[in-house]
């Protein structure tokens, strides 16, 4: 694919769940002196009526003015292919940083993402897909990207495609059991993401690769194992996000952000 709706694709940035992200030169209608944009192109064929709902959801997300959320430009449909254009962030993501990112910088990025999630929550939207690959690294800090839209394309689907197996460990088991994504499930995902950047390890060890059913059983039947390498304070923050019962978790994502900042300060004072 070389482009869509007058966007010229320059480089494939990544193949994520449900689609691809390209670095693209924007069309003349958006030329506002800005540079390249990132265009997410969904793999699923999107009928007209579904597109209308995607537009409505993204309009709500776009209306949330937050420095911690990736800026959205345009959503479109061409030949049943749905895409949206967003701000291009050049320094990669927590899953694939463009430059070496130390532990403290990564924790700060998760804290920023938690603030972004909170801003979404206050607008009535759950992000649904918080994970290291969706926390981008910009010069203004961490930026939460790629709000989960899979539920529009395939209602009832919890995971699509093998790529999503790797995302499984960031999904609240309560959601996997069929509950609606919520403030609390995003907080679970923040806890799992924080655990990864602090320890380099997932909560469920090495999930079986390419075996969706096996990975699902692991995630649903085993309790998340918080690493013993964490300091007591670090462990407590992670655990407070991972409570099995959503009602027992941290109440808000901004609360989680505040706790991460305390950990960052403690780590900075120590090191």
Partner 1 sequence: MDDALRIYPGPGLVARFGDTTLVAVLKEERHEIFARELVMVLRTMAQPSLDPSAVRLARRLAGLLALSDAADAPAFAMVSYVGGGGAVFVHGDVEVHLEFADGRTEWLSGRGVLTWVDRALTDRPAAFRILPVGTPDLVADAESDLRAGVVRGVGVAFGAVPAPPSPRQDAQRPDEPGGSDTPLAATEAPVVSPPAQPGPAGSRPLNQPFTVVSLHSRPDVPPRTALAVAALPLGPAEQTGPMPDLDEDSASVDHLMEGRLGWVVLDDGAMYVLDADYVVGRAPYLSPPVQTGAARPLVVDDEEHTVSRVHAKITLNRLAVVVADAGSANGTFVAQPAGEWQRLVDDAEVTVTDGTRLMIGGRTLLFQLDDADTATAS
Of residues 63-92, those binding partner 1 (CB under 8 A): 63-64, 72-81, 84
Q: Please, what is the minimum distance in Å from the beta carbon of residue 137 to partner 1? A: 22
Q: Helices 253-270 and 232-241: crossing angle, nearest 10°?
A: 170
3 state DSSP class of 230:
coil
Q: Which of 165, 197, 219, 263 binds partner 1 (CB under 8 A)?
A: 165
Q: Please, how many CA atoms are within 13 Å of residue 14, restricted to the half-sphere of its CB?
A: 19
Residue number with CB closer to partner 1 (2 or 206):
2
| Binders of partner 1 in range 21-60 (CB under 8 A) | 27-30, 44-45, 47-48, 51-53, 55-60
Structure tokens belonging to residue 69: 């959320």
Task: Say whether residue 155 binds partner 1 (CB under 8 A).
Answer: yes
Q: How far is the CB of 109 from partner 1 (least distance, A)?
A: 23
- Residue in 110, 226, 257, 263 binding partner 1, rule: CB under 8 A: 226
Q: Does 102 engage in binding with partner 1 (CB under 8 A)?
A: no
* Radius of gyration (C-alpha) of the chain in whole angstroms: 18
**162 part of the interface to partner 1, by CB under 8 A:** yes
Count the alpha carbons within 13 Å of 18 in the hemisphere toward its beta carbon. 24
Based on the shown chain and the rule CB under 8 A, indicate whether residue 139 belongs to the binding site for partner 1: no
Of the candidates 78, 72, 41, the one whose C-alpha atom is nearest the C-alpha of residue 57 is 72
Chain centre to alpha carbon of residue 63? 18
Size of residue set near partner 1 by CB under 8 A: 84
Residue count of the chain: 271
> Exactly one of 98, 157, 209, 262 binds partner 1 (CB under 8 A); which one?
157
């Amino acid at each position: 694919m070389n482009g869509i709706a007058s966007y010229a694709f320059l480089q494939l940035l990544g193949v994520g769940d449900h689609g691809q992200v390209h670095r693209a030169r924007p069309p003349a209608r958006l030329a506002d002196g800005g540079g390249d944009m990132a265009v997410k192109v969904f793999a699923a064929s999107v009928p007209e009526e579904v597109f209308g709902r995607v537009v409505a959801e993204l309009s709500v997300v776009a209306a949330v003015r937050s420095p911690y959320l990736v800026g959205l430009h345009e959503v479109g449909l061409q030949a049943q292919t749905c895409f949206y254009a967003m701000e291009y962030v050049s320094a990669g993501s927590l899953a694939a940083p463009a430059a070496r990112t130390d532990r403290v910088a990564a924790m700060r990025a998760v804290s920023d993402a938690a603030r972004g999630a909170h801003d979404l929550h206050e607008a009535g939207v759950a992000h649904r897909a918080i994970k290291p690959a969706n926390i981008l690294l910009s010069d203004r800090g961490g930026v939460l990207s790629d709000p989960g839209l899979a539920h529009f394309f395939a209602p009832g689907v919890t995971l699509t495609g093998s790529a999503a197996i790797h995302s499984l460990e960031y999904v609240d088991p309560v959601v996997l059991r069929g509950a609606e994504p919520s403030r609390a499930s995003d907080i679970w995902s923040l806890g799992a993401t924080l655990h990864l950047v602090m320890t380099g390890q997932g909560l469920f060890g090495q999930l079986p690769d390419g075996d969706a059913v096996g990975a699902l059983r692991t995630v649903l039947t085993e309790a998340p194992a918080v690493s013993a390498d964490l300091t007591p304070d670090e462990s407590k923050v992670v655990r407070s996000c991972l409570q099995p019962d959503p009602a027992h978790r941290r109440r808000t994502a901004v609360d989680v952000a505040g706790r991460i900042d305390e950990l960052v300060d403690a780590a900075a004072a120590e090191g």
